[in-house]
Structure 1
Amino acid sequence: MAKKTATSKKQKSLEETLWDAANKLRGSVESSEYKHIVLSLIFLKFISDIFEKRKEELIDAGQEKYVDLVLAYTKENVFYLPIESRWRYIQKNSKQEDVALKIDTALSTIEKNNKALQGALPDNYFSRLGLDASKLAALIDVINNIDTLANPHEDVVGRVYEYFLAKFAIAEGKGKGEFYTPKSIVNLIAELIEPYKGKIYDPCCGSGGMFVQSIKFIQNHKGNKKDISVYGQEYTGATYKLAKMNLAIRGISANLGAAAKDTFANDQHETLKADFIMANPPFNQKDWRASDELVDDHRWDGYETPPTSNANYGWILHMVSKLSENGVAGFVLSNGALSDEGVEHKIRKKLIEDDLVEAIILLPRKLFYTTDIGVTLWILNKNKKKHSVEDDAHKRDYRDRTGEVLFIDMRKCGIPFEKKFIDLTDKELSTTIETYHNWQQENWTKTYNNIPEYCYSSTFKEIKENNFSLVPNKYIEFKFSNESFDFDGHLAKLQNKVDVILQREKQEKSELFRSFKESGYELQA
């Protein structure tokens, strides 16, 4: 008998299986709608599985008379589902022509019966899309085969959301980076600002990824998620709903405002003072306010009014206004904010003089799926620690380090991902986190060293001499493989060549104008 040989056929992941099923809807609905359809259905499957598990627990405990008592579920943080809202009911009727209506009814009923989900679920979404019933049934069959409770530690909905959002960002190439924050960046921000206890705020919270990672940080460090409260705001209605759904299934209580609103025009947390702010605002947002609007807004008190042409410093000052007395913020902006001139320069200068800027971290390109522009992670801290150094006699000499900023360059970090993108490794993240926290130590000279081409601790004087630029390359030492290479001399030679070329162009242009003039023609300059 022939010996069997093992096959190495790769089993598709949950995300890949869902993606294939969702792709069957192509032609019936816009591709950008896939993630909302799939997430709503997997959400319904997930909470139904939890409901059925709790129901079985009641029966096994001899408490069958309580299986339809709402309190028996809600006291265990389980959503109570009427019969028409349960996955079994939807799956049983999946081949019916009115299955879209049944899904809408199920979601609407769930929202009405569970306060935590108010405003979270789609309203008549499936019926409105006019989906092909047979294709929708096929998608339901795929989701039906998923055991959402196989691993209680798996972040099912979060995983699927991240996967779908990334796939659409890659496929469509739209946006400015605001739709998706790479998980490695979210992890980095959380590990740097350490949101253990207090109020956490994200003024442009998207699907709530920053909050989810904050909770994971607390759990990983043996903290208590009851020690924090979550506040956020989101402008896009569909994303606002996803955020509420994303947080609800994790048992994260959050105040995301009454509805999706513009953070600048309609701040729903006007009096909030947050201990931690984590954000990935829209990059280089244009026309974020009319020229005569928000000119004297309290959020700019003590600073210039941010220009209408770019919202970067509007976001910065909004976050500064939200920080508590000892608050710290970590957020991502495009590199242009490091050296913008005009009004932005005046605001940046004041931020540095107020000793709010603690760290500037250059991130690699191609981290974001929707843009490849250079980006920077900023850390602002309203209570920067005063560091100390030791003299030669090993006696402590405390000195005021007001205005000092740590610069880190991570542009050489990252490994290939999905062919044209990169992702940061755990080792690279841990190195940066360790560098930052070592620099924060009281006796920092024993724990931190400047490293050429990677990090540098600048003084306020150095920053002032560089006209308050926060471009890391102006501070971090860069070496060349050829130590004898004269960079300044080489740059001077290049400048001379450029000057020669420009002079030659000027002469040739002058001769051309003269030739035409001699022929009776006049050229316009």
Structure 2
Amino acid sequence: MAKGKEKNNGNLGFEAELFRAADKLRGNMEPSDYKHVALGLIFLKYISDAFEARHAELLAEDPRAAEDKDEYLADNVFWVPKEARWSHLKAAARQPTIGSLIDDAMRAIEKDNESLKGVLPKDYARPALNKVMLGELIDLISGIALQQPSPPTPLPMGEGGRRPGEGNIRRAQATDVLGRVYEYFLSQFAGAEGKRGGEFYTPRSVVQVLVQMLEPYQGRVYDPCCGSGGMFVQSEKFVLEHGGRIGDIAIYGQESNYTTWRLAKMNLAVRGIDSDIRWNNEGSFHKDELRDLRFDHILANPPFNISDWGGDRLREDPRWQFGVPPVGNANYAWLQHIYWHLAPYGTAGVVLANGSMSSNQSGEGEIRKAMVEADAVDCMVALPGQLFYSTQIPACLWFLARDKSGRSLPSPPGRGAGGEGKLRDRRGEVLFIDARNMGRLVDRTRRELTDADIQKIADTYHAWRSARRDPHPGPLPEGEGEKLQYRGGFDFSGLVQTARELRKKQTPAEAVMWELLRNRQFIGLKFRRQHQIGEYVADFYCDEHKLVIELDGDAHSTSAQATKDKTRDAYMTSLGLTVVRIRNAEFLADPKAVLERIVVVLPSPSGRGAGGEGVAPYRDIPGFCKSATLEEIRKHGHVLTPGRYVGAEAAEDDGEAFADKMRRLSTQWREQQREAARLDSVIAANLKALGYD
């Protein structure tokens, strides 16, 4: 198995190494300028390689077709003239004219591809750009391997010894590799640029929360301030990972920054995603390019607290259904613009500053009240700090819904993390989730949500809005409030302690999990280890709930293994089983969070079905989530801060009696006082010996 740090493999562990190498070539060039140099070349490499792959296929089939531009466009492949192909530029990489050659290549590509007109950077020949660095960067990008391992199950042989669809698979794999490299570079440049980086990039973990909660399987997806297009990329990924196809969703967006709009167009093109992304420098408020369209899913991360948005010129705008937003802050203008664009059963997820949940300035409180009373708000999520490159302002997520009656269509059968089936009538209720304590620090200044965190938030929302509810949603029985309780009143604290002890001994993840599942320790369920299912062997299997738990190591991050896993999961799903995949490192780092996740997605004993049986019943968890009624929200003055509703997290019982703990702590305190007095005497004596009485 190739290691992640090696170049030229599908594991993509080399992406960080690739960026470090590219960043070294930057020299004294500002990241904001170098970003366009590097990303433009990555894009050029992608479209050239995709063209060459299709060209080779057509040559084998019909040499005349290989020179027919329409053959490429029909297959969603850009036409690349000879002088613009990567092989031509690579051969000339060490020439002093390489900058001009790249600019000419970009112009030629734009000329032959209408959708790329005005998108590509064309200033590589400028004198300030070091041409030696440029040549070295071309050599570096040339090392990105696009040929991934073949699919695990060979396609049937067709005429001429070729397998139909084989070329499409190779091109899709190439798209995935370069697309992920492009995304990684975007994130790193955003970090390097700091506040300015946040203008074009939303952290991936935040986007994933929005996508996993809204589940955009099909229909129109819109972002009114789309930045570099990250919302769209993650939405397409979600569709593909859950059995859909690129094209199941239609992408629409608008961006007021021309440079950022170009990044978005390239980001989507490198993924093979067709889109309608509009640019104008007036922005979505003043020149709404898509004013008459309505959308099934809207995902947005608008700039926080904008004061100069030109609201004084829009006082009579019909979009302000809940009240005219203040001239000095655009937060509620964004919310109402987005709600205006929702289809009859549409849903939206919006990132805003925390102040939007409680502000009463300039009529914002009255607008928020009107939105709540009209049942426009479905869910509120408080996020942890330090998630964003551009600001340290704490942020939250607003989830809006046009129709909370439950009449909206469920997700396509068998798809989705939620597995909700029929949605229930949620009118008069709002779900509050407090995720402020989630996430992990990835460096000194920035935090990100883990996969387990994202799954827990999304699963909680899916369970809450599904037709199945806990028949006893009230407070926990007396005495149980001191423990974190789940279905059946089960307490995980003992199991978590077992996991901690095993981790100290560096026990493998499967051994740790088995210690938690064996002998019906986990909420009374019987699990089997290494259980045969058809031609596959499941790591852990519970027959009562038709649940499969798979623990995945580093090998599962390769493209080839991911394809095998999808085939395996699809087979198990076809048998009516629920598959939960967990990373080894994720599980060992926080077994409690993983156990919570398993409980939330646990199907009913009867299996999945149309009534929402695939979702565990929702229940309020102190300190994390609360389903609040309209009356409760009124008592809080329509303030939507989750902390007001979820309460304090239940303390975990450490098993030590209070009286014993107080005796132990009192003794410890007295010992520390005596030691402090002794140290004071030693310090005083030393100072005296040095002549400092």
Tell me which residue corresponds to 2:666: none
2:601 alignment counterpart: none
> What amino acid is aligned across from residue 253 of structure 1 in structure 2?
D
Does residue 294 of the first structure (1) align with residue 314 of the second (2)?
A: yes
Aligned partners of 1:86, 1:440: CA distance in 2, in Å? 51
RMSD of aligned Cα (Å): 2.6
Task: Report if the CA contact (8 A) 2:385-2:436 is conserved.
Answer: yes
- Residues 402 and 129 from structure 1, CA distance in 2 versus in 1: closer, same or farther, beyond 3 angstroms? farther
User: Which ranges of 4 or more aligned residues in structure 1 deviate by more than 6 Å?
Assistant: 482-485
Structure 2 CA distance for aligned equivalents of residues 222 and 371 of structure 1:
36
Q: Distance in 2 between matches of 1:128 and 1:176?
A: 24
Residue 131 (str. 1) matches residue 152 (str. 2): no
**3-state SS, counterpart of residue 399 of structure 2:** strand
Shift of 1:114: 1.3
Q: Distance in 2 between matches of 1:455 and 1:129?
A: 57
Match among 203, 208, 214 for residue 193 of structure 1: 214
Residues 72 and 10 of structure 1, relative CA distance in 2, 3 Å threshold: closer
Distance in 1 (alpha carbons) for counterparts of 2:42 and 2:334: 34
Identify the residue that residue 21 of structure 2 maps to in structure 1.
20
**Deviation of the 1:137 alpha carbon:** 1.0
Match of 1:335 among 351, 354, 358: 354
Query: In the TM superposition, what is the alpha-carbon distance from 1:176 to its structure 2 partner?
Result: 8.4
Tell me the alpha carbon deviations over residues 168-201 of structure 1, each in whole angstroms, 9 at most, x when there is no partner. Answer: 3433432484432121221221121121221110
Residues 1:358 and 2:378 aligned together: yes
CA contact (8 A) 2:440 2:449 kept: yes
Instruction: Give, in whole Å, the separation in 1 of the partners of 2:57 and 2:116.
Output: 24
The equivalent residue for 1:43 is 43
- Unpaired segments of 5 or more residues in structure 2? 8-13, 150-171, 408-423, 472-616, 659-693
Name 2:453's counterpart in structure 1: 428
> Which residue identity is paired with 1:280?
N
Distance (whole Å) between structure 2 residues aligned to residue 437 and residue 121 of structure 1:
41
1:368 counterpart (380, 388, 396): 388
Q: Give the SS at the match of 1:355.
A: coil
Task: Give the one of 239, 244, 247 matched to 2:260.
Answer: 239
Q: How far, CA to CA, are the matches of 2:342 and 2:316 in structure 1?
A: 20
Please give the secondary structure, in 1, of the residue aligned with 2:259: helix
Identify if the C-alpha distance between structure 1 residues 339 and 262 changes in structure 2 by more than 3 Å, giving closer, same or farther: same
- In structure 2, what is the Cα distance between the partners aligned to 1:461 and 1:290? 33
1:435-467 CA-to-partner distances (Å, cap 9, x unmatched) read 111111223225111110000000000111111
Aligned to 1:79: 78
Change (3 A) 1:249 1:401: closer
What is the identity, as a one-letter code, of the residue corresponding to 2:327? T
Q: For residues 357 and 140 of structure 1, what CA distance do their matches in structure 2 show?
A: 49
What amino acid sits opposite 2:337 in the alignment? H
User: Residues 262-301 of structure 1: matches in 2 within 5 Å?
Assistant: 262-289=283-310, 291=312, 293-300=313-320
**Cα distance, 1:23 vs structure 2:** 3.3
> 1:150/1:130 Cα in 2 relative to 1: closer, same or farther (>3 Å)?
farther
Q: How does 1:114-513 map to 2 (within 5 A)?
A: 114-122=113-121, 124-128=122-126, 130-150=128-148, 152-153=172-173, 155-175=176-196, 177-257=198-278, 259=280, 261-289=282-310, 291=312, 293-300=313-320, 302-342=321-361, 343-385=363-405, 401-446=426-471, 447-479=617-649, 481=651
Q: Distance in 2 between matches of 1:104 and 1:238?
A: 17
**What TM-score, normalized by structure 2, do the two folds share?**
0.63
Q: Percent of aligned positions with the same letter in both sequences?
A: 43
Which amino acid letter does the alignment assign opposite residue 148 of structure 1? L
Q: Quick one: distance in 2 between partners of 1:451 and 1:457? A: 10
Quote the Cα distance in structure 2 between the aligned partners of 1:160 and 1:101. Answer: 25
Change (3 A) 1:369 1:64: same
- Please tell me whether the aligned partners of residues 25 and 132 of structure 1 are also in contact (alpha carbons under 8 angstroms): no
Distance in 2 between residues matched to 1:200 and 1:57, nearest whole Å: 34
1-side partners of 2:441 and 2:235: how far apart? Answer: 26
TM-score scaled by length of structure 1: 0.82
- Where does structure 1 lack aligned partners over 5 or more consecutive residues? 1-7, 388-398, 486-525
Per the TM alignment, residue 158 of structure 1 is displaced from its structure 2 partner at its CA by 3.8
Aligned counterparts of 2:285 and 2:123: Cα–Cα separation in 1: 28
Equivalent position of 1:88 in the other structure: 87
CA contact (8 A) 2:439 2:447 kept: yes
Q: Is the 8 A contact 2:183 2:267 kept in 1?
A: no
Say if 1:286 and 1:308, in contact at 8 Å, map to a contact too.
yes
Q: Secondary structure at the match of 1:427?
A: helix
Please tell me whether the aligned partners of residues 100 and 125 of structure 2 are also in contact (alpha carbons under 8 angstroms): yes
Cα distance change, pair 384–401 in 1 and its aligned pair in 2 (3 A): closer
Shift of 1:116: 2.6
Structure 1 residues 400 and 155: alpha-carbon distance in aligned structure 2, compared to 1, 3 A threshold: closer
Change (3 A) 1:71 1:463: same
CA distance in 2, matches of 1:176, 1:294: 29
